[in-house]
Amino acid sequence: MQLGDFVLSNSERIISEWETSARTCRLPADTTSGPDLRAHGRGILDAIALGLPPRSQPPEASWSTVARAHGTTRRLAGVTPGQMVAEFGALRVSVLRLWTDTEQQLTHTHLEDLSLFNRAVDQALAESIACYVHDLEYSKDVFLEIVGHDLRNPLAAIMMSATLMISTEEPTWPHAKTASRILNSGVRMERIIAELMDFTRCRHGAGIAITPVSADLEAICRHTIEEVVRTYPKHVVRLDVGGHLRGRWDETRMGQALSNVICHAVTHANDRTPVTITACGERDEVVVSVHHEGRVVPAAELPDLFNPLKSIGPDGKKLRDLSGLGLFIAKEIVVAHGGGIEVSSLPERGTTFIIRLPNARA
C-alpha cells in the first residue's frame, strides 16, 4: 500500500501512536493529548496524505492554516520550539513505524513516497514554527508597548515634582543639585521610553511617522549639538556647514536622529580630538557626516551596527558595546525622510557616519 493511502486509512491509529510517542518529548503536562492536538494532527496528516501519490493533490490554504494554528496552540500551551521539533519527529516516526510494519519489502515507489512525506512534514513544521515565532514576537512587542505606556504617568509625576522643587526653591537650596539630577534623569528615561515605543512600531512594520515642514538643517544641527554638549561637557563637538541646507524635514525627528548619532560618536570618541559634524547641501542631496577618532568598529560588526538585537554572538559573548536603540531609531528616521545612513570605520581614518537625504528644497 502506498504511504498516502496508508495515512488516510489509519489516521486514528497514527494519532494514538503519536500521542504515546509525544509523551517522551518532555512536553509540559496536559499537552500530549487533547482535542486540539488530535484535530491538528489529523488535519496535518490528511493534507500530507492528499499531497502524496496516487492523489498528488496540490496543497490547499487550509493545509497552511492547520499547521499555523498548531504552532499558535503549542505556544499558548507552553511548548518550546525545540519540543515542537521533537513532537513532529515523533509524528514522523509514528507514521513510518506503522507503515513499515505492514510492508514486507520497500520498493522504489515506496522510497519516492517516503521522500515526499518527509518533505511535507518538514514544510508543516516550518509553517508551525514560523507562526509560533511570529506570535511570540508580537506578544513581546505588545508587552513592551504596555510597559512603555504605563511608565509615562509615574515618570511625568517625578519630572513635574523635580521641576516644581527647582522653580520654587532658592538656587542655594542644599538639594537643588539633587532635584536637577532627578529632572535630567527623568528626561533621559522619557527619551528611552519614546525610543522603545518607536522600536516596537518599527517591528510591526509601521515605521517612523514624520511631519515634514520647511526647516533649516543647519539650525537643527546647531540646536542638537548644544543639547549634546550640555550632556557631555568634557567633549568638543564642531560643526562645518556649506551649501543650501533648507528643505522639508521633520525638525523634531531629524534632531532626534542627529542626536542619537552624535551621542554615539561622543561616547566612543577619545578625549583628545573633537567630534566633527559636517553638513553640506549638494545639488541632489544633503549630506551630513559625523566623524570621531576613537574605538574602531571591526568590519564584521558594521552590518549589524544599526541592529540593537545583534550585540550578542551565538556563543553568548558580547560582540560589541551596546549602542541601545539610538542608531536603529536614527536609521529609521532617515529612511522615513527618503534617505539612507552608512558608516565606515578604519584605524587610520576613524569612524564616520554619513547621512544622505534627498534635497527637497523648501
Q: How far is CA 102 from CA 55, 90, 155, 230, 323, in A?
A: 21, 19, 69, 80, 61
pLDDT in tens, 51-84: 888 877 776 656 678 888 888 888 888 888 888 8
pLDDT in tens, 265-314: 998 998 888 999 999 998 889 999 999 998 888 888 888 888 877 654 44
Asked whether the predicted pLDDT for residue 320 surpasses 70, the reply is no
- Per the structure, the count of domains in the chain is 3
Task: Give me the DSSP letters along 154-185.
Answer: HHHHHHHHHHHHHHHS-TT-TTHHHHHHHHHH
Q: How many CB atoms lie within 10 A of CB 221?
A: 24
**Residues 354 and 217 placed together within one structural domain of the fold:** yes
**Residues 270 and 346 placed together within one structural domain of the fold:** yes
**Residues 152 and 135 placed together within one structural domain of the fold:** no
Q: Where residue 245 falls among pLDDT bands split at 50, 70, 90?
A: very high
**Residues 317 and 194 placed together within one structural domain of the fold:** no
**Residues 22 and 116 placed together within one structural domain of the fold:** yes
Q: Is residue 208 part of a domain?
A: no
Grid look-up 488530535 returns: 38
Q: Is residue 324 part of a domain?
A: yes
Final residue of a structural domain among 121, 139, 157: 139
Question: Helix or strand or coil: residue 191?
Answer: helix
Specify the pTM.
0.66
Q: Quick one: pLDDT at residue 206?
A: 77
Asked whether the predicted pLDDT for residue 93 surpasses 60, the reply is yes
Q: Is residue 84 part of a domain?
A: yes
C-alpha cell at 276: 566633527
Q: How far is CA 338 from CA 71, 309, 357, in A?
A: 37, 24, 7
**Residues 120 and 161 placed together within one structural domain of the fold:** no
Are 336 and 208 a contacting pair, CB within 8 Å?
Answer: yes
pLDDT in tens, 188-236: 888 888 888 888 888 777 788 899 999 999 999 999 999 899 888 889 9
**Residues 126 and 245 placed together within one structural domain of the fold:** no
Final residue of a structural domain among 158, 185, 203: 203
**Residues 102 and 49 placed together within one structural domain of the fold:** yes
**Residues 11 and 131 placed together within one structural domain of the fold:** yes
**Residues 62 and 105 placed together within one structural domain of the fold:** yes
CATH number, domain with residue 122: 1.10.490.70
Q: Residue range 38-44: average pLDDT?
A: 83
Are 307 and 322 a contacting pair, CB within 8 Å?
Answer: no
**Alpha carbon 176 to its chain's center:** 41
Q: How far apart are CA 87 and CA 114, in angstroms?
A: 19
CATH number, domain with residue 217: 3.30.565.10
Helices and strands in the chain, H and E counts: 10, 7
Are 259 and 188 a contacting pair, CB within 8 Å?
Answer: no
Q: Is residue 187 part of a domain?
A: yes
Grid look-up 552608512 returns: 342
Enclosing domain of residue 256: 213-358
Q: How far apart are CA 250 and CA 214, in angstroms?
A: 8
**Residues 71 and 113 placed together within one structural domain of the fold:** yes
- For 140, residues 6+ apart whose C-beta sits below 8 A from its C-beta are none
C-alpha cell at 288: 551630513
Q: Quick one: pLDDT at residue 40?
A: 81
**Residues 320 and 345 placed together within one structural domain of the fold:** yes
Q: Is residue 178 part of a domain?
A: yes
Q: Is residue 70 part of a domain?
A: yes
Q: Residue range 115-137: average pLDDT?
A: 91
Final residue of a structural domain among 156, 178, 203: 203
Stated length of the chain: 362
